[in-house]
Structure 1
Amino acid sequence: MKITFLGTGTSQGVPIIGCECEVCKSIEFKNKRLRSSIHIETDDHKSLIIDSGPDFRQQVLRERITKLDGLIFTHQHKDHTAGMDDIRGFYFLNNMKPINLYGTEGVFNQLKQEFSYMFVEDKYPGVPSVDLHEIKKDENFTIGDTLITPVEVWHRKLPVMGYRIKNFAYITDANRIDPDQMEKLKDLDVLVLNALQHKPHQSHYTLEEALEVIEELKPKQAYLTHISHNLGLHSEVEKTLPNNVSISYDGLSITI
């Protein structure tokens, strides 16, 4: 299974418009972060993407992704859904067969508002069709031969879905994980977890809080994502991390 980080930034991305901090002014590519998303190539050659934020088109073109077997959503915030219109390219490549979307009822309610033209009966020619597959926190689901376990986490008061596939798990936009859901994250080879900044935040783990979660779960390797410019320069923060923790960056690929 191959995982590629399409984006590793927070809701505004990095650099932020108008910001003059050293991170936003950096020319190092690892300090430039599009909105958070990953691409997964499964063992049975399925192509899955988790979240389609505002940078979706740019991310897909950069990684030359030409196949989409499932678009999976973590939650309904715009930095994770706003680029869904660009599934049109995959719709045409797939001979105008519906694109499979996976998400909670709350996600689908929001998508039906934001992208209402996709859900009307008499659609404009070329508007993609979608098939909705509702996710519930304690019900596994499959795409092809791949079993996926939802992991519910908390983004302040909003439930957000993380996902475990075999010994890999992806958690974003969290600041709390209940004990029963933590159990789903035991014995991982790779954990991806959000770490926004150093200063406490109402709905995201800080770096220090993320490291505490990683220490409790003890994955073989952990990668930090959903990073803001306030975390600091990639190269400087990386030096401070435990041996089994790294900061992810846009375009990073790992094979499990």
Structure 2
Amino acid sequence: MKITFLGTGTSQGIPIIGSKHPVCLSKNSKDKRLRSSILIEKNQKKFLIDCGPDFRYQMLRSHNEKLNAIFMTHEHQDHIGGLDDIRPINFNMNQPIPIYGLHRVIKNIKKRFFYIFSENKKSNISSFSVHELDENAKFFLVENFKIFPLSIWHGPLPILGFRIENFAYITDASSIPSRTIQQLKGVSILVLNILRKVSENNFFFMLSETLNIIQKIKPQKTYLTHISHTFGFHEEIEKLLPKYVCLAYDKLIIHE
């Protein structure tokens, strides 16, 4: 399984427009982060988790032109804002692209991109087939793969992470239920969000909380994503982390 980090930043990306923060001014390419998204490839199938505003550029720079499915964690702009740029993928594959998400998420997508789902389409626009997920379902099947939805909390909002075989992806989490912790046991690679060393809002894990969760799950390797500029410079933070934990960065490719 090949995993490409298309983006590893928070909702504003790094650098932030107009910011003079030292991390935003960094010359290190690893400190420049697009909105968080990931591409999973196996057996010539390609699955995207989240489709943010940077989707077009992410696909161009990673030289990808096909998708077999999109899994949505939740409906915030930094995770769905690029859906209108699916159109050339439709042309390349000559078919609608399946989207999987909770009922609430699909409803929100249909509202915000109403013209895509209109019955009176008058131009060539993006095309999707939508699939509503039951957060209590053990798994769902896509292209003969078992995909396990993972219930997590983003502040007061219930959202999803996803497990495919021994790989799991969680972003924007503020807490992870014990039931989901059990579902994550046995993963070899875990991707988990982090925002800053000392949290100023309870929507995201502080670093200590993140490391505590990792200890409970015990994956072989964890990659941190959804990283804020206030978290610090990539190279400096890397030195502070345990050997089994790494900061992800844009364009990083790993294999499970």
Q: For this structure pair, what is the TM-score category when the shorter chain's length is used for normalisation?
A: over 0.9
Query: 2:215 maps to what in 1?
Result: 215
CA deviation after TM superposition for structure 1 residue 2, in Å: 0.4
CA deviation after TM superposition for structure 1 residue 124, in Å: 2.3
8 Å CA contact 2:37–2:48 kept in 1: the answer is yes
Query: 1:2 maps to what in 2?
Result: 2
Deviations 1:57-110 (A, max 9, x none): 000001011111101100000000001000001011112x21111111111111
Find out whether 1:150 has 2:145 as its counterpart. no
AA aligned to 1:205 is: F
Find out whether 1:112 has 2:110 as its counterpart. yes
Query: 2:247 maps to what in 1?
Result: 247
| CA–CA distance in structure 2, aligned partners of residues 138 and 166 of structure 1 | 18
AA aligned to 1:163 is: F
Query: 1:91 maps to what in 2?
Result: 90
Find out whether 1:127 has 2:122 as its counterpart. no
Deviations 1:1-57 (A, max 9, x none): 100000000000011111111110001000000000000002x21111110101000
| CA–CA distance in structure 1, aligned partners of residues 44 and 205 of structure 2 | 33
CA deviation after TM superposition for structure 1 residue 142, in Å: 1.5
Query: 2:175 maps to what in 1?
Result: 176
| CA–CA distance in structure 2, aligned partners of residues 191 and 55 of structure 1 | 23
| CA–CA distance in structure 2, aligned partners of residues 36 and 212 of structure 1 | 22
Query: 1:225 maps to what in 2?
Result: 225
AA aligned to 2:48 is: I
| CA–CA distance in structure 1, aligned partners of residues 239 and 8 of structure 2 | 19
Query: Structure 1-normalised TM-score?
Result: 0.97
- CA root-mean-square deviation: 0.9
| CA–CA distance in structure 1, aligned partners of residues 100 and 65 of structure 2 | 19
Find out whether 1:167 has 2:166 as its counterpart. yes
| CA–CA distance in structure 2, aligned partners of residues 94 and 161 of structure 1 | 27
| CA–CA distance in structure 1, aligned partners of residues 89 and 166 of structure 2 | 28
| CA–CA distance in structure 2, aligned partners of residues 7 and 135 of structure 1 | 25
| CA–CA distance in structure 1, aligned partners of residues 122 and 55 of structure 2 | 22
AA aligned to 1:18 is: G
Which structure 1 residue ranges, 5 or more long, are not aligned? Answer: none
| CA–CA distance in structure 1, aligned partners of residues 122 and 61 of structure 2 | 29
SS at match of 1:254: strand
| CA–CA distance in structure 2, aligned partners of residues 205 and 89 of structure 1 | 36
Query: 1:186 maps to what in 2?
Result: 185
Query: 2:51 maps to what in 1?
Result: 52
| CA–CA distance in structure 2, aligned partners of residues 181 and 57 of structure 1 | 32
CA deviation after TM superposition for structure 1 residue 145, in Å: 1.9
8 Å CA contact 2:181–2:216 kept in 1: the answer is no
CA deviation after TM superposition for structure 1 residue 131, in Å: 0.7
Runs (4 or more) in structure 1 with deviation over 2 Å come to none
CA deviation after TM superposition for structure 1 residue 128, in Å: 2.4
State the aligned residue count.
Answer: 254
| CA–CA distance in structure 2, aligned partners of residues 138 and 185 of structure 1 | 15
Which structure 2 residue ranges, 5 or more long, are not aligned? Answer: none
Query: Structure 2-normalised TM-score?
Result: 0.97
AA aligned to 1:29 is: S
| CA–CA distance in structure 2, aligned partners of residues 214 and 47 of structure 1 | 27
